[in-house]
Amino acid sequence: MTLLRRFIPGLFCCLTALPLAAQELIQARIGDELFRLELAADPDSRRQGLMEREALPAGSGMLFDFPSGATPAIWMRNMRISLDLLFVDGQAAIQRIFHSVPPCEDLPCEIYQEQHPLRFVIELPAGTADRLGLQEGDVLDLGGRERTPAPSL
C-alpha cells in the first residue's frame, strides 16, 4: 500500500502534463510541396498558436481557421522562432505574405494583419514562402478545409 501511495501522485503529475487531445493535422499542398499543418480552429488553440516552440521542422506549420467575418491579427509575443505568415481567404487564395517575421522581444509588439476579413492564416518556417516562390493570388490546397464551414467561435 505504501508503494502505491508514492506511485499515484507521480502518475497524476505525469498525466496532467499530457495534452487533453491530439492536435488535428491537415495535409496541405503549398507550392509544390506537401505540409502537415496543425489545425487551430478554436479560441484556445488560436491564442496558443506556436508560442514557446523551439523549432518548426520543414514540411510542417500551423493552419489558423477563423470564424466568418474575422480580420485575423497575429503578433509574435512569446515566440522563439521566425515564421512566414500567409494570410489566406476562404477560397484558399493567398492575399498577403509576411516574410521571415521575427519573434517580438519587447512590448509593444508589431501586429501583422490584413485590412479586410480573411478565413485562414498559415504559419510556416521562415524562408518557406521565398523558397517555394509563393505569391499573392496563388491558390493553395488545404486538404478540403476551405470547403468546410468556418468555425463558429
DSSP SS3 for 50: coil
Q: How many CB atoms lie within 10 A of CB 70?
A: 16
Closest CA to 94 of 122, 66, 127: 122
Task: List the chain domain ranges.
Answer: 24-147
27-50 pLDDT per residue, tens: 999 999 999 999 999 999 999 999
Beta-bridge partner residues of 125? 83
- Indicate whether 60 pLDDT > 60: yes
Q: Is the dihedral of CA 145, 138, 122, 36 positive or negative?
A: positive
110-141 pLDDT per residue, tens: 999 999 999 999 999 999 999 999 999 999 99
In this structure, what is the dihedral angle of CA atoms 19, 24, 28, 33, given to the nearest 10 degrees?
30
DSSP SS3 for 133: coil
CATH of 24-147, one of 3.40.1180.10, 1.10.287.3510, 2.60.120.1140, 1.10.486.10: 2.60.120.1140
pLDDT given at position 52: 87
Instruction: Please answer whether residues 43 and 78 qualify as being in contact, where contact means their C-beta atoms are separated by less than 8 angstroms.
Output: no
Cell 515566440 belongs to which residue? 79
pLDDT given at position 22: 54
pTM of the predicted model as reported, rounded to 2 decimal places: 0.84
Q: How far is CA 95 from the centre of its chain?
A: 17
pLDDT given at position 54: 94
Q: Do the bridges between strand 33-40 and strand 60-65 make them parallel or antiparallel, or are there none, so unpaired?
A: parallel
